[in-house]
Amino acid sequence: MVTHQHGRRRFLQMLASSPALTGGIGLGSLLGASSHAEEELITAADQAVNVLEFEAVARKNLPPWHYAYLATGVTDDSTLQANRDAFGRYQLHTRRLVDVAKVDMSVKLFGEVWETPIMLSPVGSQRAFHPEAELATARAASAQKHNFICSTHSSTAIEEVNKVMERPAWFQLYPTDDWNVTRAVVKRAEKAGCPVMVLTVDSQNGALRDTLFKVRRSAPVKCTDCHIGGFTYNAVASRRPMFAGLDLSKVTTQLPLNMTWDVLPRLKELTSMKLLIKGIVTKEDAALALQQGVDGIIVSNHGGRSEDSKRASIDCLPDVIAAVNGKVPVLVDGGFRRGTDFFKALAMGASAVCIGRPYLWALAAFGQLGVETVLTLLRKELQIDMRQAGAASIGQITREFLVR
């Protein structure tokens, strides 16, 4: 039988020349298969000096196929890489002799005040990264007073997630091609107390995730050994708690290919939850979303995992901000790793910024404590960057601080 370590060596060899997964550093050079590289991994969450240090530990801890699922982009991973590269095109126009003895990082969204604008993006199947899955993430978010958006494809039911949260999570929706199933999932999230529903519109089935597919092909264990029923959407949905007890016989896909803008008023009729639309990257679609009555927009290219546009989320943000013109909050995700990344998005006019991979690296590395540490590090970085730039509050971070 092929060993797990042999499979990992094959995995590293295959990805050694892929710079996109590690922000420009090839996996071969970062992990290098050398004992020296292994010795330099942090062994406790509090040793981390930045969130990037959690990735190598996650890669070490996870089976190759689970890490590949987390790391993959689409085709040659260039959109994933674009999300990181784009931040280098923006510089900060910093000011001096400003009173920044007290820094207020709080933001207000839909009547609720959050201590920081940093939120946790929805990511499904978190049990693939840690046994406590979304419960560890939710506890960490609650302990650090950050917002968490829970996925339809969560490994944990929304009711269980909300039990461990100080405030109920927001709920991310993947509608199916059976409206009865979609309606039941929405009603369940509302009953669980979720105040906001986030409709994702940028992830039709069929994304060409080459990195993931190559690992599946070469992995020593067949994914179907755990994923009973295979990878059809019906099979995937049947394994998710949010679909428990529902008749899935007519479900074949998420985000039906014939879904149009009329889905927004239909959803608003179903629920009193605020409705955000996630995956908007153009001014034209932002305008259409406003016409359909959305309560907010999340600019996102799905972390480079869905479309192959080669265009970074941060580059899309100004167009959407201009089209919305302050009518509703605009959030953004995609490649955010450092405090200056957040500052730049806020300077463009974002109301809040969401992270995905950094907290999942930390979850895989050290569980709840890892996620808490990532949030602590990012808060500290943003606070320092605000002081260095001369902004004492989020409201003071304006476009004047940004140079293209």
Cβ-in-10-Å burial (0-12, 13-18, 19+) of 279 comes to buried
Please state, in angstroms and as integers, the Cα–Cα distance from residue 256 to each residue in 131, 146, 233, 397, following that order. 31, 32, 11, 39
Q: At what angle do helices 4-15 and 210-218 cross, to 10 degrees?
A: 150
Which of 364, 294, 306, 367 minimizes the C-alpha distance to 334? 306
Angle CA 8–10–13, to nearest 5: 110
Residue 321 burial by Cβ neighbours in a 10 Å radius (0-12, 13-18, 19+): buried
CA 228 – CA 27 distance, rounded (Å): 31
The residues assigned a catalytic role are: 302
Q: Two tokens at 182?
A: 């979609």
Q: Cα–Cα distances in Å, from 106 out to 22, 90, 350, 353?
A: 31, 24, 13, 12
Helix (H, G, I), strand (E, B) or coil at 313: helix
Q: Is the four-CA dihedral 217, 222, 227, 228 of positive or negative sign?
A: positive
| DSSP character at residue 186 | H
